Amino acid sequence: MKRAYYIFYKDFSSELRMRFALNALIMFVIVAVSTILFSLANEKVNQNVYAGMFWVVVFFSAMSGLSRTFVSEEERGTTLILSLIANPISIFIGKFLFNLVLLFFINTIIAFLYMILFQDFSIQNWDSFLLAFILGNIGIAGSSTIIAAIISKANVKGTLYPVLAFPVLLPLILMLIEITKSAMEGNPISDVEAELMVLISYDIIMITASVLVFDIIWRD
Amino acid sequence: MKTRYYIGGFIIVVFLGLLFYNFTRTNIEYESDFTQVMAKGKTCKATGVWVKEKSFQEDVQNRTFIFYLRDAKNNEMKVIYRGIKPNNFEIASNVVVTGKYENGVFHATDVLTKCPSKYEGQNINTSGS
């Protein structure tokens, strides 16, 4: 556990120094949100569209930034040293925590931008939206960490990542859109109880499966 | 080492079951009993027959369309649809409305009409050729 924290700390401080992932993410978010803003231009759109658009931006920003964690290790050739000083599980937990913090940071920015730029994106039921936001971030961080570990050894890292991540993240995104829609309509939290249960089980499955198979992926 | 895989596998199987169970619950349910629709107050698809005697009101300016539906047990329900009247509404044998029951009226977001089939059986004369 201590090792996991050290790996998290190492990634965090090197990210603060270089800002590889952070800059890419912020650029992406600004471009995507402003494109949506200009193309909609005060037009009255269905609320469902905003719910979908919000999670589309979240999904692709995760795709563009989160693969850095393992790819950068591979590029700098520090993979071997990392595997010498720590056991696989603590490496996974450290990287997962780093991705989680990064994702929370960037998604808070996206949500904030949506709320000030789009009047129609108004959440009526904060409880269910925040719950979905937290559970969704954990799910996205978990599955993107393990997929980043898988693709870091491949030659075509950029394209392989969204291709592998899309089918894994699809059920999660669908549920998140459904909950966001209901939160925007102001329905009580009991309406989306089934969706929230799906999110919780998805998170638990993803993290358990990742911890189990990370050993094998890391050694190869 | 082995036990770790067993425990992990067990957790995955249990939650996979939970996930699929809940996944099937997320679909919008069909409801043919209006008392259920009124009691639950959740988004659902209600099926019924248009009450011809009470007719319908159409407000083109505000784009609302109001009519009454009746289910198999003769329960009636007022439906408000934000939109224009579907084309073959008068001849429809069945109407499916998607929406939510609130304050005594059903607010529909979608109206589907089922047309009477062209090939519905006539009374077949069974006495031979």
Q: What is the pLDDT of residues A171-200, one digit of tens each?
A: 899 889 988 988 887 777 877 888 888 899
CA dist A36 and A118 (Å) reads 10
Long-range contacts of residues A30-37, Cβ cutoff 8 Å, at least 24 apart: A32/A57, A32/A60, A32/A61, A33/A57, A33/A110, A33/A113, A33/A114, A33/A117, A37/A117, A37/A118
B26 vs A178, A202, A211: nearest CB: A178
CA-closest candidate to residue A36, choices A49, A24, A23: A49
Q: Is the pLDDT of residue A218 over 80?
A: yes
Residue-wise pLDDT for B27-72, tens only, equals 777 777 777 777 776 778 888 888 877 777 777 777 888 888 888 7
* CATH class of the structural domain B29-114: mainly beta
The residue-averaged pLDDT of A76-92 equals: 84
Calculate how close chain A gets to B25, using CA atoms only, in Å: 6
Most confident of B13-22, B34-43, B109-118: B13-22
Query: Residues B90-103: what's their mean pLDDT?
Result: 80
Q: How many residues does chain A have?
A: 220
Q: What's the confidence (pLDDT) of residue B122? A: 63
Q: Do the Cβ atoms of A129 and A123 come closer than 8 Å?
A: yes
Give me the amino acid identity at A88: P
Burial (CB count within 10 angstroms: exposed 0-12, middle 13-18, buried 19+), residue A43: exposed
From chain B, pick out residues whose CB is under 8 angstroms from the CB of A197.
18-19, 22
Task: Name the domain count of chain A.
Answer: 1
d(CA B50, CA B106): 14
Q: Do B18 and A201 touch (CB under 8 A)?
A: yes
- When CB atoms are compared, the residue of B8, B18, B22 closest to A211 is B8
Residue B45 C-alpha, separation from nearest chain A C-alpha, in angstroms: 15
Asked if A195 contacts A179 with a C-beta cutoff of 8 angstroms, the reply is yes
- Domain boundary assignment for chain B: 29-114
Percent of chain B with pLDDT over 70: 86
- Burial track B13-33 (b if 16+ CB lie within 10 A, e otherwise): eebeebbeebbeebeeeebee
Return the amino acid letter for A68: R
Residue carrying the six token digits 């912020």: A26
pLDDT at A202: 92
Please give the Cα distance from B20 to B17 (Å, whole number). 5
Chain B residue set in contact with A, beta carbons under 8 Å:
4-5, 8-9, 11-12, 15-16, 18-19, 22-23, 25-26, 42-43
Distance in Å, alpha carbon of B11 to nearest chain A alpha carbon:
7
Q: Which of A107, A95, A143 is nearest to A25 (CA)?
A: A107
Full-model pTM: 0.77
Distance between CA atoms of residues B14 and B79, nearest Å: 42
DSSP single-letter state for residue A197 = H
Using an 8 Å CB-CB cutoff, list chain A residues near B42: 191
Distance CA A112, CA A116 (A): 6
> Å from B89 to nearest chain A CA?
25
Q: Which residues from B are below 8 Å from A47, CB to CB? A: none
| DSSP 8-state secondary structure symbol assigned to residue B74 | -
Task: Number of A to B CB contacts under 8 A, please give it.
Answer: 42
Distance CA(A111)–CA(A133), nearest Å, equals 10
pLDDT at A39 over 50: yes
Q: Which residue of A has its CA nearest to B109?
A: A46
Would you state the structure tokens that stand for residue A177, as one six-digit string? 């859109």
Rounded distance between C-alpha atoms, residue A128 and residue A132, angstroms: 6
Buried/exposed B105-129: b ≥16 CB within 10 Å, e otherwise: ebebeebebeeeeeeeeeeeeeeee
Nearest to B22 by CA among A63, A160, A204, A23: A204
Mean pLDDT of B59-86: 82
Q: Which domain holds residue A207?
A: 2-219
The two counts, helices (H) then strands (E), for chain B are: 2, 7
Nearest residue, CB atoms, B5 vs list A171, A178, A212: A212
Which residues in chain A have Cβ-Cβ distances shorter than 8 Å to B25? 194
DSSP E strands in A3-109: the ranges are none
The CA-CA-CA angle for residues A90, A92, A97, to 5°, reads 95
